[in-house]
Amino acid sequence: MTQSLPRIAAVSAVSDTALHVSWKGGGEDVIELAGWIARGCPILEPLKEPALFRKPGLTDYDAVVFWGDEDGDLGIDAYHLSLLAEEQRAFKALDLAAWQAEMAVSDEEAADLLRTSFDQFNTWKAGTAVVPSQVAMLCRAMARDPLLVEAHYQPDKDWLTSGAA
């Protein structure tokens, strides 16, 4: 099954470094691009100028946001914008519970993987505290790359004997 590439219905600047993107097919995001601009190649330097950044346009069948000349080099494609948007979305209690289920770990093991206390993990999971962005980043990274889990996972002490006959 192929996944269709994201397309943009509308784009506007909401600050000197953030875009509001309405996606074709529904949904919208505010996407912060300060990190992308700051860490990008020197070609992105002009985007540090608010007057330019605040005038984004769409090109390539609504698959690219551009600034300045439509045929120039200042642009970011919808696919990468959607990846940035996904990473920047809030990570809620339901997301944490889904991550835990996907990782197939207990509350204790999840807390250990995230280098936090059992009580703090359960506070996030219950939704009574906001999941910090660095925890969300770590959970998303582990979901993408299971080797991170395997490198840091500490199973319960009796796991070696639990399968013995």
* pLDDT tens sequence across 97-124: 999 999 999 999 999 999 999 999 999 9
Question: Which carries the bigger pLDDT value, residue 162 or residue 33?
Answer: 33
Rounded Cα distance between 22 and 29, Å, is 7
Mean pLDDT, to the nearest integer, of 59-85? 94
Share of the chain above pLDDT 90, in %: 82
Burial of residue 18 (number of CB atoms within 10 Å: 0-12, 13-18, 19+)? middle
Question: Domains of the chain, with CATH numbers?
Answer: 8-88 (3.30.2020.10), 93-156 (1.10.260)
28: three-class secondary structure by DSSP: strand
Rounded Cα distance between 122 and 117, Å, is 9
The phi-psi region of residue 104 (left if phi > 0; otherwise alpha if psi is between -120 and 50; otherwise beta) is: left
**Can you give the pLDDT at residue 162?**
65
**Can you give the pLDDT at residue 70?**
84
Taking only the tens place, the pLDDT of each residue in 15-39 is 999 999 999 999 999 999 999 999 9
Helix (H) or strand (E) run with residue 57 in it: strand 57-59
Checking if the pLDDT of 80 tops 60, the result is yes
Mean pLDDT, to the nearest integer, of 2-23? 93
Mean pLDDT, to the nearest integer, of 144-158? 85
Share of the chain above pLDDT 70, in %: 93
Rounded Cα distance between 16 and 69, Å, is 19
Checking if the pLDDT of 159 tops 80, the result is no
Checking if the pLDDT of 151 tops 80, the result is yes
pTM recorded for the entire structure: 0.81
**Can you give the pLDDT at residue 5?**
87
